[in-house]
Structure formats: C-alpha cells, structure tokens
C-alpha cells in the first residue's frame, strides 16, 4: 500500500494560465469514519475506488490504496455513497519536479479553491508558486470527506480564511 504525503494550501492568485491540464471530478464516500474513507471517484470518464487510512498527527501523510474501475461501476457506486457528493475541476500546474493539483469546487463548496502538492518525504523541498496562499495541511475541515458533511458555503468568514478553529 502506498503512503500519500501531501501539503494543502488555499489559492490566492491566478493559476489557470499556468495549468497544463484540467479534468472534471465527481466523488462520493461510501464510508467515512474516524479518519478512514472509502471513496468513489469519476474523473472525466474514468472510475476509481480509493481506500485511505487515518492521517498522521500533522495531517501530512496517510496510507492510500487506489484501484481503477469502470466508468459504469463508478456511476453505480456513486449512487450508494453517503449524502454530499463533491463536484470540482482539477487543474494541473507544474512546479519544478512537482505538480500542484488545484481544485476548484462547485455546488455547496463553490468559492473554495485549494492546491495540493504530493511529496516523496515530509521534508522534501518544493517550489511554492505565487498563487499558493495559506497552508491548511492538517485542518480536517479541508478534507473532501469533511467538505461533503459540512460544505464550505456554511463556514464562518474566519474558517474560510483558513484560520484554525
């Protein structure tokens, strides 16, 4: 099983001119409890089933298993998910040896734009691009599984600014 190590940030500037690819993502959660999730994702016309373990104490890393599934299976599994489907566009922005995944959310999470960069180790250096704002790594409310429960549109202004609450 792979270990996922990533840092998460709010986006404060224009990233689209730097993007090399954009895809549409619909995802839901069959189960999300105590930091463990089973996620179904449809990215454009490809399906994925992902199991994630709990995050470490800093929120930087966790174990992840992902398997590609058919588009038809993904569409059927999305019907079995807990309430609160996530709808977003993902923009890929190269940054040296890394790629930022910038997620622009829609629906009840409209207005939220976040960037993630995956690393090979927790202390690996990475290039911080101009659009990258406040770091929100480890703040649970920014996890997609939490956004489906308590969408961004229901947050206070302090929460939306990335303040710890």
Give every CB contact of residue 119 below 8 A, 6+ residues apart in sequence. Answer: 5, 6, 7, 98, 126
Residue 161 lies inside a defined structural domain of this protein: no
Q: How far apart are CA 75 and CA 85, in angstroms?
A: 12
Residue 141 lies inside a defined structural domain of this protein: yes
- Helix, strand, coil shares of the chain as percentages rounded to 5? 15, 45, 35
The pLDDT tens digits along the chain (165 residues) read 688 899 999 999 999 999 999 999 999 999 988 779 999 999 999 999 999 988 887 777 889 999 999 999 999 999 999 999 999 999 999 999 999 999 999 999 999 999 999 999 999 999 999 999 999 998 989 999 999 999 999 999 998 888 876
Residue 92 lies inside a defined structural domain of this protein: yes
Residue 165 lies inside a defined structural domain of this protein: no
CA dihedral 33, 142, 102, 42 (to 10 degrees): 30
Residue 158 lies inside a defined structural domain of this protein: no
Provide the number of structural domains found in the chain.
1
Give the model's pLDDT for residue 165: 66
Give the model's pLDDT for residue 84: 95
Residue 162 lies inside a defined structural domain of this protein: no
Please enumerate, as own/partner, the contacts of 158-163 that have beta carbons within 8 Å and a separation of 24 or more: 160/111, 160/112, 161/134, 162/10, 162/133, 162/134, 162/135, 162/136
Q: Using a cut of 0.75, tell me whether the model's pTM lies above it.
A: yes
Residue 7 lies inside a defined structural domain of this protein: yes
CATH number at residue 89: 2.40.320.10
Q: Catalytic residues, which ones?
A: 29
Residue 61 lies inside a defined structural domain of this protein: yes
- The domain containing residue 108 runs over which residues? 2-153
Q: How far apart are CA 137 and CA 36, in angstroms?
A: 17
């Amino acid at each position: 099983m792979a270990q996922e190590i990533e840092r998460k940030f709010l986006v404060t500037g224009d990233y689209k001119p730097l993007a090399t690819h954009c895809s549409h993502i619909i995802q839901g959660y069959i189960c999300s409890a105590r930091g463990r999730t089973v996620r179904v994702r449809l990215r454009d016309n490809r399906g994925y089933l992902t199991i994630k373990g709990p995050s470490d104490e800093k929120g930087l890393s966790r174990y992840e298993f992902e398997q590609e599934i058919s588009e038809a299976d993904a569409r059927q599994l999305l019907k079995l998910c807990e309430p609160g489907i996530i709808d977003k566009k993902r923009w890929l922005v190269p940054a040296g040896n890394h790629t930022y995944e910038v997620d622009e959310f829609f629906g009840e999470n409209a207005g939220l734009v976040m960037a993630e960069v995956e690393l090979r180790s927790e202390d690996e250096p990475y290039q911080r691009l101009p659009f990258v704002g406040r770091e929100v790594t480890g703040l649970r409310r920014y996890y997609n599984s939490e956004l489906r429960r308590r969408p961004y549109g229901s947050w206070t202004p302090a929460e939306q600014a990335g303040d710890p609450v």
